[in-house]
A and B are shown apart, each in its own frame.
Chain A
Amino acid sequence: MTADSIDIGYVAKLARLALTDEEIEIFGRQLGDLLGHVNALAELDTASVPATAQVVESRNVVRDDEPRPCLDREIVLSQAPQRQGGFFRVPRIISE
Chain B
Amino acid sequence: MAKLVLEHLTKDFGNVRAVNDVSLEVEDGEFLVILGPSGAGKTTTLKLIAGVERPTSGMIYIGGKPMNAIEPHHRNVAMAFESYALYPHYNVRDNLSFPLKAPGRKFAQQEIDRRVEEVAELLNIHMLLDRLPRMLSNGQKQRVALGRAMVREPDVLLLDEPISHLDAKLRHRMRTEFKALEAAIRATTIYVTHDYLEAMSLADRLVVLKEGSIQQIGGPHELFVNPANVFVAQLLGHPQINLVECTLQRTNGVLELISTDGAIKLEVPERLRGALADGKLDRVLAGIRPQHLGVANGHHPASNVCSGTVYVYERLGTKGTLTASVGAHRLDVLTSIEESFVIDEPVSLTIDHTQLSLFDAQTHKNILFN
Do A and B pair up? The answer is no
Q: Hey, which bits of chain B sit against chain A, CB under 8 A?
A: none
Q: Hey, which bits of chain A sit against chain B, CB under 8 A?
A: none
